[in-house]
């Protein structure tokens, strides 16, 4: 009889700086149309100042949609309803210390918070190193949104998002040579 496989290593055993490490990240696009102009929810690094789509690393044994729900609950303290996948974006970049390789699965976030309960503006952050902000889609080009392709993608589909539509699913690869 074959012994069972060993349990998976905890995520902490995979340091982000480990050479050859590929990060699998779930991200979400939440659009707010309550103010008359469409706004997208962005997360900001307080230390570095740049913005990115909310979400985080997918843990062993969970789906990307489950990871996005968990990350938003952990980071904002509110539940969300995850919709359809919008994009897979694979990219590599140098962060100043190490070459990174990410695979980002981007989902539509259909609803943030509990139904019928108004959300505070700005949205809450349960973590001290990040903040959340509703950013007008019309001004997204002037923000430091990373990766750059995410900013360009949001700007290219701003009218569609503002009208309640969603772009067709796409796969993008931006790898450094």
How large is the average pLDDT for residues 68-84? 96
CATH superfamily of 26-174: Nucleoside Triphosphate Pyrophosphohydrolase (3.90.79.10)
Q: Is the dihedral of CA 109, 173, 50, 95 positive or negative?
A: positive
> Predicted confidence band at 64 (pLDDT cuts at 50, 70, 90)?
very high
Distances (CA, A) of 120 to 93, 112, 113: 34, 11, 10
Q: Per-residue pLDDT for 85 more than 70?
A: yes
Cα angle 31, 101, 22; round to 5: 100
Say whether pLDDT at 14 is over 50: no
Q: How far, CA to CA in Å, does 147 sit from each of 14, 100, 111, 114, 160?
A: 23, 12, 24, 30, 21
* pLDDT > 90 in the chain, percent: 71
Output the pTM of the full model: 0.87
Residue-level pLDDT at 11: 46
Question: What is the model's pLDDT at position 6?
Answer: 47
Residue 6: alpha-carbon gap to chain centroid: 31
The pLDDT assigned to 12 comes to 47
Mean pLDDT of the chain: 89
List, for residues 102-155, the tens digit of each pLDDT value: 999 999 999 988 877 777 788 999 999 999 999 999 999 999 999 989 999 999
Domain ranges of the chain: 26-174
CA 150 – CA 145 distance, rounded (Å): 7
Instruction: Output the pLDDT for position 177.
Output: 74
**Where does the pLDDT of residue 37 fall: very low under 50, low under 70, confident under 90, or very high at 90 and above?**
confident
- At 84 the pLDDT is 97
Least confident of 15-19, 94-98, 114-118, 134-138: 15-19
């Amino acid at each position: 009889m074959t012994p069972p496989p060993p349990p998976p290593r905890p995520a902490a055993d995979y340091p982000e700086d480990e050479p050859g490490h590929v990060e699998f990240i779930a991200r979400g696009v939440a659009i707010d149309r309550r103010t008359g102009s469409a706004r997208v929810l962005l997360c900001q690094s307080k230390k570095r100042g740049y913005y990115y789509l909310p979400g985080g690393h997918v843990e062993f044994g969970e789906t990307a949609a489950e990871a996005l729900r968990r990350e938003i609950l952990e980071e904002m303290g509110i539940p969300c309803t995850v919709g359809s996948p919008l994009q897979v974006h694979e990219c590599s970049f140098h962060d100043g210390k190490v070459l990174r390789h990410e695979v980002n699965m981007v989902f539509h976030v259909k609803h943030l918070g509990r139904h019928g309960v108004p959300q505070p503006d700005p949205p809450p952050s349960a973590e001290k190193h990040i903040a959340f902000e509703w950013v007008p889609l019309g001004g997204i080009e002037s923000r430091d949104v990373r990766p750059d392709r995410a900013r360009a993608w949001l700007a290219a589909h701003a009218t569609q998002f503002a009208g309640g539509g969603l772009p067709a699913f796409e796969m993008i690869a931006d790898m450094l040579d």
